[in-house]
Structure 1
Amino acid sequence: MRSIIYLLFFFCPFSVAFASCGDSDDIKENKKPEPIPAPEPEIAIENFGVNLSGAEFSYVYPGVDGTHYGYPTTKCLDYFNSKGLKLIRFPFRWERIQHDLNGDLVQTEINKMKNFVKAAEDRDMPIILDLHNFARRSFDGGSTFVRIGDNGLTADHLGYVWLKLAKEFKSYTNIWGYDIMNEPYSMASTTQWRDIAQVVIYKIRSVDTETPIIISGDRYSSSEHWVQFSDNLRTLIDPSNKLIFQAHIYFDKDSSGTYKNSFEDEGATDQTGVDRVKPFVEWLKKYNKKGLVGEYGVPSNEPRYLPALENMLKYLSENGVPGTYWSAGPRWNESAPHTLSVQPTENYTKDKPQIAVLRKYTKTDSK
C-alpha cells in the first residue's frame, strides 16, 4: 500500500559499499531449466483473504521484534478462517531476513516465518510469501533506500534471496505463491522491472519447479494503468508455466489508499472499483493469464465506500480472480491505527464494518 509512511521509500541516490560474501553453492545454481509445454487452461475456484501485516513494519532495520515489527498470530488466522477469508498474504522485509547481500538468511526470522506458515498449513489456509520492498533495499538501517539497478544492487541479488527462500519453504503444502516483490515503481530505464523478474523466475526454478511465482505490476502494481505500465510482463518465461500476475487497487483519487479527502472530493462512485480493476482483468482474459488482486481497501469510517468494494469483489469473483484485502494484523491496532484495517477489536469479538462485505466473497465463482 502506498500510504504516507511509504513516501520515505522514494529513491535518494547515495554511494554505498556492499559487503562481499564470496561465491556460495547457492549462487552457482544459475542454470535455466528447460521449459515444459504450457498446460491447458484450468477452471479453478480460488479463495479470497487478507493481508496479515506486521513483519514488514518499521523503517528501522533490523529492528526489535515486538517493538519495531512483529508477526501475525494464530489468533489472527483463526479469526479470518472463521470468516471464510482463508488466503493470507504475508508481508516481510528483505533487510530483516537477509542482512548481507548474497549472505545467509537470518534463521531466527525464518523460523518465525515458518511457525506462522505451519500454523496456517494446519488450518488449511494458503499463504502468499510477500517480499514487501518496492524494488528497493536499505543499507543504512532504514534512512535511505537503493533501487534495484542502482549503486550495485542487482537483479541477481534479488534472485539469490528468493533461491534461498524457495529452498526453505518449498516443502510446505500451503504456499500459494512466491510474491517476489511488492509494488515496484519508477525503475531505472536501464533496469526494467520485467527483466529483474525474469532473473528471479529462473533462480527460483533452479530449486523449485512446483510453487507458483507471483509477479506484481509496475507503477505500484496499478490495475487501472496495467496495460500502460505492465503489458510487457506477458513476455516473461516460466519454465513451469505457473506465473500469477498481481495488481493493486484503491478507490481514492490518486489510488494511494490514503483517503485524505471526503468521498465526494475523492471522486468515488459505486463503480470506481470495477472501473479501475477492469483493465487488469481484461488483460488477464486476453492473454489467458492467471491473476490476483493483492491489495484493496476502504475506510471503516465511510460507509459509502462499501458498495464500491462489494461491486468490485463481485466482479472479481465472477471473473475468477481472487484477492487479499489490505490489511489486518494485531500491530495495526496496537501501534498504527488505520481506517483501512479489518483487524477485529475488543479481543477479537467486534468486526470492522468492511467484514460484512468481505465475508460474502470468500471464493471465486465456479462458472
Structure 2
Amino acid sequence: MKNTVFVLGLIAFMLGGCSDKVKEVQSSGEPFGMNVACADFGSIFPGTYNKDYTYPTDSDLVYWQKKGFRLIRMPFKWERLQYELGGELNQYDLNKMKDFIVAAQKRNIKVLLDLHNYCRRFKDGGHRIIGTHGITNEHYAGFWKKIAQEFMKYDNIYGYGLMNEPHDLPDSLSWFCMAQLAIDSIRTVDSENTIVVGGNSWSSAKKWLDASDTLKHLKDPADNLKFEAHCYFDKDGSGTYKYSYEDEEGTPEKGVELVSSFVAWLKENQLKGFVGEYGIPDNDPRWEVTLDNFLAYLSENGVNGTYWASGPWWGKGAAMVVPTYKGGQEYPQVRVLEKYLTTRK
C-alpha cells in the first residue's frame, strides 16, 4: 500500500513539474537561491588564482537569472582576502569579489557573502581554530569590519554570512563569543545590512537545539540577524549520498522532519531563519519528492535558502551538485528548485 501511495505521489509530482501553474512565484516573500562555489576551492592558501581556486563571474549568473533566482550565496576564504592577520585586505581578490557583486547587481540578484572557513584559518601549515595559534577573536572580528567597510555601499548585499559550519570547537572556545564580537565589529561601520549567523556543529538543522540554542541570546544593535542552518537528507547528513535511497533511509518527508525543530525554534524565539545548504543527487527521482516537500515546508514557514551547489569547477564526483548544465542537459533537480523562487511569507 505504501509503495502504491508513493508511486501515485511521484507521478503527480512529475506531471505537476511540467506545468507552469506549479511554479510558485511570490513577489513578497524571501528569495530562494543557489550557492555558486569556487572561491572556496583548493587546499593551498592563499593559492594561485585560476589554478587552485577562482571566483564566479557574470557568466555563472546567466542561467540562474533565466530560471528566476534572485539570490546567490558566494563562499570565500579569509586567507585569500587577508594574507596577514590584522593586515590590509588583498586588493586583487577583493576586486574579483566586487566584480561579481556588480555583475549580480546588474541582474537584480542579491549576494550573501559566505565566509567559508569552518571557524578556522590556515596557519602554520594547517587549519587552525580561531582562538589558537595566535588567531584571536579580535583578528576575526576585525576582518569582518574591513569586509563590511568595503561592501556596505552595494545595495544588493543580502547579508554577511559570519561563518560557514563552525564545528568541533574545544570547550574552552565559544562560537557564540566569536559571533558576538563580529556582530559588534560590523555594526561600528554598517548599521543596516543583515548579519547571518551559522549554527554550531556544522550548522546542522537536526542538531540545532542541542548545539546552537544559545545563539538566540546574541545581541545586535540593529536588530537585523538571521540564523543559518544546513540540511542534507542522507543518513549521516553529509550531503555525499554514497548509498542508495533505501540505504540512506530516504523518505518523502525526511527533509521536513530534519528541519522542523529549527523552524520551531525560530518561531518560538521570534527570529528570522535561512537554510544555507541543502542538496540531493540526480540518480533517483524519489529524492526530488523529498526536496519538493522540504522546500514547500520552508516556503510556508517563511524560511528561504540556497541550494548546494553550482559553480564552474565542479567535477563529476559531486553527486548532489547542480552545475549549470550536465553535458548540455538540464539537471533534474532544477525542475524542483524553480518552483520555489520566494517564500510564501
Listed as ranges, the matches of 1:43-82 within 5 Å are 45-82=29-66
For 1:344, the equivalent position in structure 2 comes to 324
Counterpart pick for 2:68 among 59, 84, 103: 84
Alignment RMSD: 1.4
- Give the whole-Å Cα distance in 2 for the aligned partners of 1:156 and 1:189: 19
If the length of structure 1 is used for normalisation, what is the TM-score? 0.85
For 2:22, the equivalent position in structure 1 comes to none
Listed as ranges, the matches of 1:1-367 within 5 Å are 45-140=29-124, 143-333=125-315, 337-345=317-325, 349-366=328-345
Q: Deviations over 1:5-57 (max 9, x none)?
A: xxxxxxxxxxxxxxxxxxxxxxxxxxxxxxxxxxxxxx951110000000000
Q: Check the 8 A contact 2:77/2:116 in 1, yes or no.
A: yes
- Give the whole-Å Cα distance in 2 for the aligned partners of 1:115 and 1:151: 33
- Give the whole-Å Cα distance in 2 for the aligned partners of 1:337 and 1:259: 11
Amino acid aligned to 1:114: K
In the TM superposition, what is the alpha-carbon distance from 1:339 to its structure 2 partner? 1.5
Q: Deviations over 1:158-207 (max 9, x none)?
A: 10110000000000000000001000011121221111100000000001
Q: Check the 8 A contact 1:227/1:279 in 2, yes or no.
A: yes
Q: Calculate percent identity across the aligned residue pairs.
A: 46
Deviation above 6 Å: which 4+ runs of structure 1?
A: none
Amino acid aligned to 1:363: T
Q: Check the 8 A contact 2:240/2:318 in 1, yes or no.
A: no
1:127 match: secondary structure: strand
Q: How many residues align?
A: 319
In the TM superposition, what is the alpha-carbon distance from 1:362 to its structure 2 partner? 0.7
Amino acid aligned to 1:212: T
Unaligned runs of 5+ in 1: 1-42
Greater mean alpha carbon deviation, residues 182-191 or residues 229-238 = 182-191
If the length of structure 2 is used for normalisation, what is the TM-score? 0.90
Amino acid aligned to 1:125: I
Amino acid aligned to 1:129: L
Q: Check the 8 A contact 1:342/1:351 in 2, yes or no.
A: no
- Give the whole-Å Cα distance in 2 for the aligned partners of 1:93 and 1:350: 31
